[in-house]
Amino acid sequence: MTTLAPAADAGLALEMSRGDTLVVRVWGPWTTGARRPAADEVDDRLASAPKPRRLAFDASGLEDWDSGLLTFLLHVIAVAGRHGVAVDREGLPEGVRRLLALATAVPERRDTGGVARRASVLARIGAATLESARGATTMLAFLGEVSLGLGRLVVGRARYRRSDLLLILQEVGAQALPIVSLISFLVGVILAYVGAVQLRQFGAQIYVADLVGIGMTREMGAMMAAVIMAGRTGAAFAAQLGTMQVNEEIDALTTLGISPIEFLVLPRMLALAIMMPLLCLYADLLGLLGGMAVGVGMLDLGVVEYYVRTTEAISIADCVAGLIKASTFGVLVAVAGCLRGIQCGRSSAAVGAATTSAVVTGIVLIIVFDALTTVIFDLIGL
């Protein structure tokens, strides 16, 4: 028998039994606060000849133990496994055996601390392409469901609450007037000021009325109202539907046989399609007032003179073009907000990401569609 670390508080001894079994005997307090023998001698003994075929434990003299004993035993068991020596744990206390079973139930992962290899350029391009294709497929499927819902709405079979539609009309209409008023008035002021800086050099200050009137009615009134609604209402739609997705309320509607598209998306889309032309007209009026404030205050133009020039510059075609754009922008904002809300994940972080994505998607769609419609209107002479 070989006794190791005789001066330690915790004791350890190795002895051969029945010729092929190495018994590891421990006694004393095996705690983290006590001095404990090292396991190096156990490693050397398992590697030396004659090599034991079996490893057993004797803990009859063990007084107290904690993670210090478990660390030692796990090391011994790992070394025995590398040398092909069978381990018998019956001589250990029951609590130690259970903790060892838990510690060795799942093997240690060797790749958790490694550095992931960066994918190649082609791999990243391929992943981005596949992700874009999946996003386009999801959007087309959503638009198809919305189209079917609109068809059922036309024939009177859509299932949604009229009270929800009236509430959303108020939220996207009357409650949006303050921010639309401020932004539209300031846009009119900016347009008039930029035009005045150049036109004043040629003594053509009166044409500021033309610039502000046509710019607001054809482009800026509808676009600024749409951008405001994308940041205000589109984000709200995405956050509302995303929170419902997290709380599994949308799943509950589906389980009850109610289409989420009809119940949640259609009222929001109808509300924005109805209110956006009205908000566009209101934005046009505030923008014209902002331009008049600059014309009268900076350019010494008369109020009546400015008004007459504005009415001569603006045509019905300009107003119709702006209203068509505004109504379409409202649908695009609603589609972007509802789509990102429906696609939201099941966490609070996913709700924030869906809200951000709804605003970005809505503004991008607005700019792209505005560019397309401007070209189309010019080709058809509108």
CATH code assigned at 65: 3.30.750.24
239 and 92 within one domain: no
Confidence of residue 184 (pLDDT cuts 50, 70, 90): very high
Q: Work out the mean pLDDT of the chain and round it to a whole number.
A: 84
Task: Give dist(CA 275, CA 268) in Å, integer.
Answer: 11
Domain membership of residue 242 (yes or no) is yes
Within this chain, do residues 76 and 147 fall inside the same structural domain, yes or no? no
Establish if 270 belongs to a structural domain: yes
Write out pLDDT tens, residues 223-273: 999 999 998 899 999 999 999 988 888 888 888 888 888 888 899 999 999
Domain range for 96: 2-103
Q: Into how many domains does the chain fold? A: 2
Give the span between the Cα atoms of 255 and 262, in whole angstroms.
Answer: 14
37 contacts 73 by C-beta, under 8 angstroms: no
Same domain, 97 and 217: no
Q: Is residue 369 a part of any domain in this protein?
A: yes
* 93 and 152 together in one domain: no
Give the number of other Cβ atoms within 10 Å of residue 123's Cβ.
10
Within a domain: 262: yes
* pLDDT tier, 7 (very low <50, low <70, confident <90, very high otherwise): very low
46-101 tens-digit pLDDT: 777 677 788 888 888 888 888 878 888 888 888 887 877 888 888 788 888 888 78
71 with 169, same domain: the answer is no
Rounded CA gap, 314 and 307, in Å?
11
Whose CA is closest to 146, among 324, 342, 277?
342
Q: Which of 83, 103, 123 is the last residue of a domain?
A: 103
Q: Is residue 47 part of a domain?
A: yes
For the four alpha carbons of 286, 288, 292 and 298, in that order, the dihedral sign comes to positive
Query: Can you tell me the distance from the alpha carbon of 222 to that of 218, in angstroms, rounded to the nearest whole number?
Result: 7
CA distance 205 to 309: 11
pLDDT band at 111 (very low <50, low <70, confident <90, very high): low
Amino acid at 139: M
Percent of the chain with pLDDT over 90: 21
pLDDT tens readout for residues 286-322 = 999 998 988 888 877 888 888 888 888 888 888 888 8
CA dist., res. 186 & res. 179, Å (int): 11
Give yes or no: residues 171 and 231 share one domain: yes
Helix axes 235-246, 316-342, angle to 10 degrees: 20
- Residue 156: predicted pLDDT: 81
Statement to judge: residues 156 and 89 lie in one domain: no
Assessment of whether the complete model's pTM goes beyond 0.85? no
Residue where the block lists tokens 């060795």: 104
Statement to judge: residues 74 and 148 lie in one domain: no
- How many angstroms separate the Cα of 59 from the Cα of each of 19, 64, 77? 20, 10, 15
- Whether the CA torsion 96, 97, 98, 101 is positive or negative: it is positive
Q: Is 19 left (phi over 0), alpha (psi -120 to 50) or beta?
A: left
Alpha-carbon distance values, 370 to 314, 329, 351 (Å): 19, 9, 28
Shared domain for 79 and 145, answered yes or no, is no
Same domain, 296 and 147: yes
What pLDDT sits at residue 4?
46
Asked if residue 210 has pLDDT above 80, the reply is yes
Residue 107 pLDDT level (bands cut at 50, 70, 90): low
Quick one: 42 and 155 in the same domain?
no
Half-sphere exposure of 102 (CA within 13 A, CB side): 6
